Structure formats: structure tokens, C-alpha cells
């Protein structure tokens, strides 16, 4: 189904629900040359984890589906306190103020003025001085009539700017929630990898003690002992780097939540497993995702604003009508200021049409048209990026689930092999190198399993982000 870029006269969310107006029927200005509807597929290419319509209500707090209270608390804190969210809120305030300024241009302006003057004149020949007083007050009004809708188009542009700023806030919420969740998953994966390394270190230390004992009784040579020492130190050497990664992940989460490094250590200190991915996600159809994603909606609002500004620039070629009036009082004596004879009133109307502006109007129209084309291209790019991200996320969920299943079986087999190798070494059936190889393999596969679990959970997080989940209405 084709999705057309929005026009300035359309309303959310209908234009994205497979907008039916042809490109040539856009209101406000002619469409950019070479623009064609974007063909949106009816279904996703990848196999969806679950059928069903997209549920915006469940997407708003998708992190709750991971059933991890710490994760939920982190995301909620970040959405309240993150500098990115506060910056987006400030931009909304700025856009709202700009909209108010533009709306004021449609209304008359009224100003008041009061003045007083005293003068003294002295004639040198007679040395006679005379003093005169005068006073005045006026109420002045002016109003530029929006004959051809130029100011209304400019107002529509600022309204679209405000709507875009609100969508940018929602997009910041979507990105922030996914970033916090991914950082939290990475932290738990590092903790699980550290725990696996420490278990392997303990096992290798036991093997070292066994090798030392067998060397003392003459059952083996010093070679086995030195190999065991090397294995222990290799495992121990990987511990500091994992501890550093854990520290950096905690500090990164604190920054995302708008807090100083170390402030979340108490919350994060109890180690926990990597959050398990939810069983199923209803992804709906592509058109629903495009309606849900704030970045696509923001790009559509940018097109609306650009179209409105182009239309306003075209209307600058037409005449403008201005009205001004003044009601005042002017008296030679302040005591007679409010007498009827002192009242002065005037009304002036002027119609102004541009005749020669040195190409300013034409170049302004060209500038706005070019900006409109850029907004259209950016909108198309946002739609294509949204479709691509969902397809990639769907594929990642499926492929990483397959990898996790295989690694789970490999990890179980590696643990059994390590146990059997130690038993056979105790019985003298194999050499110590076999034991070391089995232990290294068991640790490697277990760490790969931890990484695969984290990758699967992260793939679900990216899918929620690609579907536009994580924002709520303002």
C-alpha cells in the first residue's frame, strides 16, 4: 500500500493510515518534483513472534514485560530525569512560545501614549517672559488584515513546529527507554560472565591443588603443575576487565538517569540474571508501526511546516492591507485636557502591493520550496528506516533465539565433558592437558551462552524500539 507524505491540511493520524490523497492533490503548494508514494508492504517479511494488531497501550511500558523491578525503576527514573528528556521539554516550550508570537500577528495591536510640554520664552528688549503649557494623550491601534492568508499559513507552520517538537519528545523517550534497557542488560550480562569466570577460577584452583598433590606423590610431573598455574592465572586475569566493565555500565546507567556516577550502586548491587525475553510480541502490520513511531510522525510534521511556509512565501506577492487609528486629546492647558474640544481622532487605511523587490520574493519562494523538498526526502527516509529497523529486529529475534538454543545445549555438554575429564584424570586415564582443554571450553561456551541470552533480550528491546514503543501522550 502506498503511503503519501502528509499535506498541511491533513490531521493525525489519518494521513499515515494509508493516506488516500494523491500527491498531486496536496494543499498549500505544488509537490516536490520526482516525489512518489512510498510502497508500504501489507505484511512484514520476517516471521512475527506473534500475530495480532499492534497494541499502543502495551507498547507504552513495554519494559514491564521483562518482569524485572530494577529495570522498570531505571527506565521510569530516566524518563523523568534524563537531560535528553528535559531538553526536549524545553524545546516544546520554545515552540509553543513561537506559536503564540505568530498567533499575535493576527490580532490588532493597541498602544497608549501620554505627553506633556512646558515652554518659557523671554524677550530681551522688554525682559518679559511668557510660559505656555500643553498636554496630550492618545490611544493608537494598528491591524494588518490577513487578506490572502499569509499570516494564517505562517501560524499553521508554527503549529506544525510545535507538534513536531512534541513528537521529538516522544522519540527521545523511545530511544532513552531502549538505551537504558540495553545498558541494563549489558550490565547483567557482564555480571553473569564474571560469575562464570569466578566459578571457572575456583575449579581451576582445585585442579591446581590436585596437580600439586599428584606431583608430590610422583604420579605426575611438574609440567602438569605449571599448566595448572597458567590456567589459573589466565582465568584470574580476565576478572579485572569484567569488573571494570561492570563499573562503567553502572556509571553509564546513572548518567542516562540524570544522576551522578555511583548514585545507583545500591539499587544495582544485588546481582541478578539477565532479564528473560518475553514469549511473544504482537507486531501488527507496517502501516500500524508507521502510525506509532514518533520519528515518522515528526518527519510528517516537518513536511506540514515546510508546505505552510512555502505557501506563505507565495502569498507575499499579493497586496497587504493595514489599518491604523488613533484617538487622542491635545490641549494647550493641562486643566482642559479632558474637554470635548481637545479630542482628536484619525483612521488610516493603506493597501500596499510589492512592485519591485530585487528578486527577494522569488528567491524566498525558491528557498522555501527547497526546504520543502528536503523535508519530503527526510520523511521518505524516516519511513524507509522504520520499515528496515523492524525487519532487522524481527530477523534478529528469530536468529538469536536459534543461537541461544544451540549454545544452551553446547554449554550443558561442555560442563559434562569438564566433569568427565577431571574424573578420568583422577583415574589416570587422560593427561592434564585434556582437563585444561575441557575447562577452557566449558568457560568459553558458558560465556557465549550468557552473551547469547543478552543478545536475544537486546533484540527484543530493539524490536520494541523499532515498533515505536516507550512513549505516552503529553
Give residue 435's pLDDT: 83
Q: What is the mean pLDDT of residues 26-34?
A: 35
pLDDT (tens digit per residue) in 403-441: 989 999 998 999 899 889 888 887 878 887 888 888 888
Helix (H, G, I), strand (E, B) or coil at 246: helix
pLDDT (tens digit per residue) in 365-384: 999 999 999 999 999 999 99
The CATH class of 2-106+148-317+360-466 is: mainly alpha
Q: Which CATH architecture has domain 108-145+319-352?
A: Single Sheet (2.20)
CB 404 within 8 A of CB 452: yes
Give residue 406's pLDDT: 92
**Domains of the chain, residue spans:** 2-106+148-317+360-466, 108-145+319-352
The C-alpha atoms of residue 173 and residue 265 are separated, in whole angstroms, by 24
Angle at 285 between CA 282 and CA 290, to 5 degrees: 105
Q: Do domains 2-106+148-317+360-466 and 108-145+319-352 have the same CATH topology?
A: no
The C-alpha atoms of residue 165 and residue 143 are separated, in whole angstroms, by 30
Q: What is the mean pLDDT of residues 444-471?
A: 92
Q: Please list the alpha-helical segments (H only) found in 281-349.
A: 286-292, 294-315
Count CA atoms closer than 13 A to 260's CA, side-chain side: 1
Upstream peptide bond of 13 is cis (omega within 30 degrees of 0): yes
Set of cell numbers at residue 216: 608430590
CB 219 within 8 A of CB 296: no
Helix (H, G, I), strand (E, B) or coil at 114: strand
pLDDT (tens digit per residue) in 101-129: 999 988 888 887 776 666 677 666 676 67
Residue (of 4, 3, 2) closest to 23 by Cα position: 4
Query: pTM, whole model, 2 decimals?
Result: 0.81
Give the model's confidence band at 463: pLDDT under 50 very low, under 70 low, under 90 confident, else very high. very high
Give the model's confidence band at 132: pLDDT under 50 very low, under 70 low, under 90 confident, else very high. low
| Range scoring the smallest mean pLDDT among 34-38, 66-70, 178-182, 247-251 | 34-38
CA quadruple 272, 274, 275, 278: dihedral positive or negative? Answer: negative
Strands (E), 290-441: 320-331, 343-352
CB 329 within 8 A of CB 343: yes
Give residue 7's pLDDT: 45
Amino acid at each position: 500500500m502506498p503511503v503519501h507524505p502528509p499535506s498541511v491540511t491533513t490531521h493525525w493520524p489519518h494521513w499515515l493510515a494509508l493516506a488516500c490523497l494523491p500527491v498531486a492533490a496536496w494543499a498549500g503548494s505544488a509537490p516536490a518534483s520526482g516525489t512518489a508514494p512510498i510502497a508500504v508492504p501489507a505484511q512484514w517479511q520476517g516471521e512475527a513472534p506473534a500475530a495480532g494488531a499492534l497494541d499502543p497501550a502495551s507498547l507504552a511500558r513495554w519494559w514491564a514485560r521483562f518482569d524485572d523491578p530494577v529495570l522498570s525503576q531505571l527506565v521510569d527514573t530516566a524518563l523523568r530525569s534524563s537531560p535528553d528528556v528535559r531538553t526536549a521539554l524545553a524545546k516544546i516550550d520554545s515552540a509553543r512560545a513561537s506559536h503564540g508570537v505568530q498567533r499575535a500577528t493576527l490580532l490588532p495591536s493597541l498602544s497608549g501614549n501620554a505627553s506633556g510640554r512646558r515652554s518659557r520664552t523671554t524677550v530681551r528688549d522688554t525682559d518679559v517672559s511668557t510660559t505656555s503649557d500643553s498636554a496630550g494623550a492618545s490611544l493608537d491601534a494598528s491591524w494588518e488584515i490577513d487578506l490572502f492568508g499569509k499570516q494564517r499559513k505562517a501560524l499553521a507552520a508554527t503549529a506544525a513546529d510545535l507538534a513536531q517538537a512534541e513528537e521529538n519528545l516522544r522519540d527521545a523517550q523511545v530511544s532513552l527507554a531502549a538505551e537504558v534497557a540495553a545498558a541494563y542488560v549489558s550490565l547483567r550480562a557482564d555480571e553473569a560472565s564474571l560469575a562464570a569466570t569466578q566459578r571457572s577460577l575456583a575449579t581451576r584452583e582445585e585442579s591446581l591443588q590436585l596437580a600439586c598433590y599428584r606431583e608430590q606423590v610422583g604420579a605426575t610431573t611438574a609440567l602438569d603443575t605449571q599448566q595448572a598455574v597458567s590456567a589459573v592465572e589466565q582465568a584470574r586475569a580476565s576478572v579485572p576487565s569484567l569488573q571494570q566493565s561492570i563499573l562503567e555500565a553502572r556509571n553509564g546507567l546513572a548518567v542516562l538517569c540524570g544522576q551522578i556516577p555511583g548514585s545507583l550502586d545500591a539499587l544495582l548491587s544485588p546481582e541478578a540474571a539477565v532479564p528473560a525475553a518475553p514469549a511473544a510480541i504482537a507486531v501488527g502490520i507496517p502501516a500500524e508501526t508507521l502510525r506509532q513511531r514518533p520519528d515518522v510522525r515528526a518527519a510528517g510534521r516537518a513536511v506540514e511546516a515546510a508546505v505552510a511556509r512555502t505557501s506563505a512565501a507565495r502569498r507575499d506577492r499579493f497586496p497587504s492591507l493595514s489599518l491604523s487609528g488613533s484617538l487622542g486629546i491635545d490641549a494647550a492647558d493641562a486643566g482642559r485636557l479632558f474637554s470635548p474640544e481637545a479630542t482628536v481622532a484619525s483612521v488610516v487605511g493603506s493597501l500596499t502591493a510589492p512592485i519591485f523587490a530585487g528578486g527577494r520574493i522569488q528567491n524566498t519562494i525558491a528557498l522555501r520550496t527547497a526546504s520543502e523538498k528536503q523535508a519530503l526526502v527526510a520523511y521518505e527516509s524516516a519511513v524507509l528506516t522504520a520499515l528496515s529497523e523492524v525487519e532487522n529486529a524481527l530477523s534478529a529475534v528469530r536468529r538469536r533465539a536459534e543461537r541461544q538454543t544451540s549454545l544452551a545445549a553446547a554449554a550443558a555438554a561442555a560442563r559434562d565433558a569438564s566433569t568427565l575429564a577431571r574424573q578420568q584424570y583422577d583415574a589416570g586415564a587422560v593427561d592434564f592437558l585434556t582437563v585444561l582443554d575441557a575447562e577452557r571450553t566449558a568457560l568459553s561456551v558458558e560465556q557465549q551462552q550468557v552473551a547469547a541470552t543478552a543478545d536475544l533480550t537486546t533484540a527484543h528491546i530493539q524490536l520494541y524500539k523499532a515498533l515505536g514503543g516507550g512513549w505516552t501522550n503529553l
